[in-house]
Each structure stands twice: as structure tokens, then as C-alpha cells.
Amino acid sequence: MIYQVYPRSFADGDGDGVGDLAGIRSRLSYLAELGVDAIWFSPWYPSPMADAGYDVADYRDIDPVFGTLAEAEALIAEARALGIRTIVDVVPNHCSAAHPWFRAALAGGPHAPERELFWFRPGRGPGGDQRPTDWVGEFGGPTWTRTVDPDGTPGDWYLHLFAPEQPDFNWDHPRVRAEFEDILRFWFDRGVDGIRIDSAGLLVKDGSLPETTPDRPHPFRDRDGVHEIYRDWRRIADGYPGDRALIGEVWLPDRQRFANYLRPDELHAAFNFDFLGCAWDAAPLRASIDGTLSAHALVGAPATWVLSNHDVTRHVTRYGRADTTFSFAAKREGIPTDLELGTRRARAAALLSLALPGAAYVYQGEELGLWEVEDIPYELRQDPMWERSGRVDPGRDGCRVPLPWAGDAPPFGFSPDGAAVPPWLPQPADWKDRTVRAQTGDRHSMLELYRAAIALRRREPALGDGTLAWLPAPERVLAFAREPGFACLVNLSDTAVPLPDHDRLLLASGPLHDGRVPPDTAVWLRTR
């Protein structure tokens, strides 16, 4: 099981209201007790934080708000001593506007050689005052920003698929490719076990800059040339002793195109966003599971199962809505949510995802049953998605609120006692019942459910890698077997259903009624 740590929000060691490496190191025993096999760290590099660290100014150091490179090396070693591997986030599509290369590209004017490392282009129309293309960015809005030349006159435009503070690299240039290969070696040399690749399908662009049309390949998404890059990266990873993993963030609806990233000489794994965004409904869930397993079987890669992450609405909230799917296009404020229903479904979803073949990812706070914080005051919101969508999309701050560890009021142990600075995002007072301390020892809590399920997953030979066979089940009920001798049943119907034949009940996401499984409840069973 891989656990995602969002460093700003995990634990604050120095009392400045922002999570840091000292805080993470102080909580490593918690992660070991939870049963974590590896930690994936969201970006911890020096950054102006225009996009919470995904605008990287230096890929070989640690931002001072988090600590030092020496602390990161100590964290990697301390985690390994506890049996926990480390995965770091690399952002190869773009950097920060404060990156030395981009600063040189601006300072040197139109003929600066560093401009070849990015996408600088003249504008269209008289005086070049129109953007080179009408491409729409990943955060919404335009994808080009015009520069001002050193003499003060309007200059060329540069491409940024995300915020203007995040200029895109030109991956056609060999210097960019060599730089990132060296960055991989830098972190592998420091004991890192894996690389999570942000926006993995966006690196290669069509240099002719065509507009997006449905009858031609997309000009910057999932272009064939990206696979050459990852074959080179795979050779680097394979050149290190032990196991080194490459894990891609690949948002693709086409399962065959998705599987292409997982061919034996490319990435080891990619995140399963189809499952993450799936409705809490038996038929689409089964279709997502079947499609995932079949796509991965084509290339012999392990499947991944993800319910939440730092970019999406927490699933306790999603599962409490009339529409339980997730998509960025549908994110809006003010959607009614039944948190009691969402929590019950989230408990069942935990057992479902942890019982499926492959690797499970848990986003920090998911094991506490945290919900999306949707009432963050406008003036405290920091996610650029909020502003760039014209304040239509509420942004991603709500899933990034700092974790509650102990106590009856904020900061709930996130910061040291007596810290003068509040957490960087406000925590709901109602989280007093969701702290680690409040849930520890309560056998009905979400935390103890996760602890029990992860411990069973480690002990059960049927879980982890392997196959799955569907079992006969009532309508809107999922039931499957894992060999040897394990079965999972998830009731997504409106009525209680009987337990199938079994030898022993191993775990249930909620109480059973007269031997029947209530709606929105999952069970793990010993079948022989």
C-alpha cells in the first residue's frame, strides 16, 4: 500500500503553520503502524508556490519552508529503516518562472539560447498581439503569455498549459531530456525508490501548433513521442540495484492508449483515474474493474486503485452526493452532501479497493474519514484553479487542509503546542472527532478499519497481486473471489442481502443485521 503525503498539510514541525520534513519524520511511526509500504511525497522542491510546489525552481534541493536536502536524505533513510520506501514527485512538463533557465530566457531577449528550452513563439496578427494558438489550459483559460523584451517593447509569447508561472519545457530539445535524466539519477542516488511523474502525457507537443480538432491527434496530449522519453527513463531506473519504480499520472479515457505507457520497457504503473472517478454503482464499478484489469493484462503491468488524491474532491464528500462521480468539469460549490452516507460508502470503498488485485494508494487523511472542506473563505484560498476558472471551480484547497492529529480544537496537533501561526488552511472544528487520537482504539472508527484491513491485506496470501473471479450475486451487489480462500462482497443496493457461503467473517465495513449485509457495506470472508 502506497500512502500519499502532501507535505504542506501532513505535520508542522516548526510551528509556522506549514507542514515540513521535521513534522513528517516525527510521524513516521504512525505510518509504519498503519502498514504503509511506500510514501509518495508531493513536490518538496524550492518553489515560489504559485501552484503549491508544482512550479519547481530547482529539482535538486528542498524548499526552505519544508527543510533541507540533508533532512530529506535523513527522512529517506529513517523511512527505509521502518520498511517504508520513498517515491518523489517529478514535474517534467513545466517548471517555475523562477527557474534559472526561464529567467535567463527572459533576461536574454529574443535571441537568448535558453528560449529554445521552452515554447517561445511570435504572436499572430498585426504586431503579434494575438496568442499563437487558442489552446485551452489544464486549469482553464489561455495557454500563452506575452513577454516584454529588455528594451520594454512587447515580445514573443510563451506556452504554459497550467498557470502563467509554469512555463512548459520543450522536450524536443536534447538539453531538456538530459537534464531530467540527471534529475532522476540525483534522487535515485539518494535512496529514492520511485518517481511519480506529474502530467505524464503532456510533455510532447506538435511544433506546428495546430488548433485542437476532433479529426486529428491532439497537439499536446498523449502524443506518440512521449513514449521514447519513458523508455529512456526506464533504462535509467533498471540500471540501479533493487527495484526502482516509475509511476505516471496519466489521464486518458482510452484504455489501450493508457496501457501503452505501461509496456514492459516504459512505466511500471500509472494512476487509475477511471476507478477514482467512477460512480458508486455496481455496474459501472464492475466495468471499471474489468476494464482496468484487462488493460493491464495486455502489457503485464500491475493495476492501481485510487479513491482520492491532492487534486480531487475527497471521496467521503463525493459519495454523499446524488452524483457520486468525479470530473473537473463538474466541480462546483454548493452541492448538497450527506456526510453520514458518504462516510458509510467510503468505508465500503476502502475494503473494495484494498481487496482488488494490484497496488492500492491512500491519500493522507483518507484513513481518518476526512471530508472535503468546502467553506474556506475566499480570501484564504490559494489554488490557482479557483481564479483561473473565473471562480467557478472551487479549486483543490478543500482536499489539502492540514491533518488533525489530536485535541478538541484547531490546529489539532498539526502544529506544536503554542504555535503562534495558524495552519495555512483552516481546519473545520468538527474534525475533533476525526483526529488520530480520537479514532485510535475505537474499533468502529475509520482509522481502525484501515489499520485492520491493511494488516489483513499483508497477511492474506490471496491479496495483493493475483487474479479475480466474479461470483454470482444479487442485482447491484459486487462479489468476487481471490485465491486462495478469500471473497469480498460489496452491497450497493438499497436492501440488505444475505452473506454468501463462507467459513468465517474476516472484516466488515459496518455492522451486519441478522447475518445480512446492509446497503453500502462491504465484507471480507474466508471461504475455506
The residues assigned a catalytic role are 198, 249
- Residue 181, number of CB atoms within 10 A of its CB: 15
Nearest partner of 102 among 126, 90, 83, 118, judged by Cα: 118
Number of H helices, E strands in the chain: 15, 18
CA distance 147 to 109: 9
Cell of 243: 527495484
* Contact status, residue 120 vs residue 109, Cβ threshold 8 Å: no
**DSSP characters over 65-97:** TT--HHHHHHHHHHHHHTT-EEEEEE--SB--T
Cα dist from 494 to 121, 179, 265, 474, 520, whole Å:
57, 55, 46, 11, 8
* SS3 state at 107: helix
Provide the b/e sequence for 64-84 (b: ≥16 CB within 10 Å). ebbbeeebbeebbeebeeeeb
Bridge partners of residue 146, in order along the sequence: 157
Only one residue has cell 495557454, namely 143
Cell of 453: 484491513
- Residue 22, number of CB atoms within 10 A of its CB: 18
For residue 151, give the amino acid letter: D
Task: Give 479-483 contacts, CB < 8 A, sequence gap 24+.
Answer: 480/355, 481/527, 482/355, 482/357
CA distance 281 to 493: 8
* SS3 state at 154: strand
CA distance 103 to 334: 41
* SS3 state at 39: strand
**DSSP characters over 477-511:** EEEEEETTTEEEEEE-SSS-EEPPS-SEEEEESS-
* Contact status, residue 453 vs residue 47, Cβ threshold 8 Å: no
Burial class (CB in 10 A: 0-12, 13-18, 19+), 239: exposed
Nearest partner of 91 among 243, 241, 248, judged by Cα: 248
* Contact status, residue 168 vs residue 416, Cβ threshold 8 Å: no
- Residue 89, number of CB atoms within 10 A of its CB: 22
Q: List Cβ neighbours of 215 (8 Å cut-off, separation of 6 or more).
A: none
